[in-house]
Amino acid sequence: MKTSLRFLLVLLVVWLACPTPLGAQQKLAQTGMKFLNVEPDPRAVALGGAFTALEGSSTSAFFNPAGTARISGFGNIFLGYTSWIADIKHLFASASFSPRDGEYGVVTLSLQSVDYGELEQTVFYNNYQGYLDLAKFRPTGLVLGLGYARALSEKFSVGGTVKYISQNLGTSITYLGSSVERSYYQTSLPAFDFGVLYKTGFRSLNIGMCVRNFSREVSFVDEGFQLPLTFRIGFSMDALDLASVDHTVHSMLLAVDFEHPRDFAEQVKVGGEYLFMRTVAVRAGYVFPADEHGFSFGVGLRQNVENLGMGVDYAYTPFGVFGGVHRVSISFSM
């Protein structure tokens, strides 16, 4: 246990050593493949993204891999859809498996697919319009992840994910006299997420830390850029642990995350979830500072049918001039 505490203290020192203080000048245009920052789980988004210290679901693979170490039962499956800004569509899926009640750890497969929609392709040309219309194309993004997590003790869990990330921006055509030159804009690379989760033993208070999108620099045509690396520390607790209530009827989860991104000012994410009869959930969250979005809210429904648990979640985020972002998901636990 002393080793676990030392490890947490080392990560905390790394956080405190990060050079940009909260509220400092924003760091813009320093990363690419920004679709990696789109959060998949409606429950997490409705909590303002404060999910680093939560556990028990395969969706933790998208936030803190250590949170998958204690999934209930043999497995957990998640399917999610996000209607993002500018008609961009995101599909997410994750599945965690815990053979022999987690004796050998938990393995998680995850998927993120991005469809930017159909775009018109044009090229400069010496005519009246100054360009030619070419065939339409569909830029895409893809992330495949393989994760592993394990509870090293009753209080301490660790986890990591290796990801294959690919982005395809289509082809370009250049007319060189009587010849045509085609350029293909596609790149891929591996990246890594890793994190820890610590159950303090004080009521249900958890502490989580994670690093996401750790990778080498991306080479794209003649340019190079970094992935949106982030470091998070989070806290979560059922506030009603401090009151004399029936926890099978009422639950009030509170969660707070502090995030240090590579390409933005430090953010604070806070969220709350009221759960009634372990069935109906109402959630709200807030992120600051932010550009066009801050507040999110959502609802969820849980139901057990024999040995199969089912859940449906929805979240809505007002996104300023871009309108609203809708997220919906369905999950199963066995």
Give the mean pLDDT of 38-60.
95
Report the greatest alpha carbon distance in the chain: 82
Kindly tell me the number of DSSP H helices and DSSP E strands found in the chain.
2, 18
Residue 156, pLDDT score? 95
What is the span of the domain harbouring residue 206? Answer: 2-333
* Confidence bin at 20 (pLDDT 50/70/90): very low
CA dihedral (271, 116, 37, 266) positive or negative: negative
Number of alpha carbons in the 13 Å side-chain half-sphere of residue 260? 17
pTM: 0.87
DSSP state of 217: P
Q: What is the pLDDT of residues 154-196, one digit of tens each?
A: 999 999 999 999 999 887 766 666 666 777 788 999 999 999 9
Q: What is the pLDDT of residues 323-333, one digit of tens each?
A: 899 999 999 99
**Degrees, nearest 5: CA angle 88-53-311:** 60
Phi, psi for residue 275 in degrees, rounded to 5: -115, 125
| Residue at token pair 């806070």 | 270
117 token code pair: 């929609």
Which stretches of the chain are DSSP H helices?
Answer: 2-17, 42-46
Secondary structure (DSSP) of 223-235? EEEB---EEEEEE
Q: Which residues contact 49 (CB under 8 A, 6 or more apart)?
A: 39, 257, 259, 269, 271, 285, 287
Residue 23, pLDDT score? 41
197 token code pair: 């989760």
Residue 233 pLDDT > 90, yes or no?
A: yes
Secondary structure (DSSP) of 237-278? EEGGGGS---TTTEEEEEEEEEEEESSS--EEEEEEEEEETT
Percent of the chain with pLDDT over 70: 89
| Number of domains forming the structure of the chain | 1
| CATH, residue 45 | 2.40.160.40
State the Cα–Cα distance between residues 148 and 192, nearest whole angstrom: 12
Q: Which helix (H) or strand (E) holds 236?
A: strand 230-238
Q: Which residues contact 295 (CB under 8 A, 6 or more apart)?
A: 284, 285, 286, 317, 318
Residue 22, pLDDT score? 41
* Confidence bin at 125 (pLDDT 50/70/90): confident
Q: How many CB atoms lie within 10 A of CB 235?
A: 17
Where does residue 83 rank: exposed (0-12), middle (13-18), buried (19+ CB within 10 A)? middle
Higher pLDDT among residues 131 and 86, named by residue: 86
| Residue at token pair 């590579």 | 262
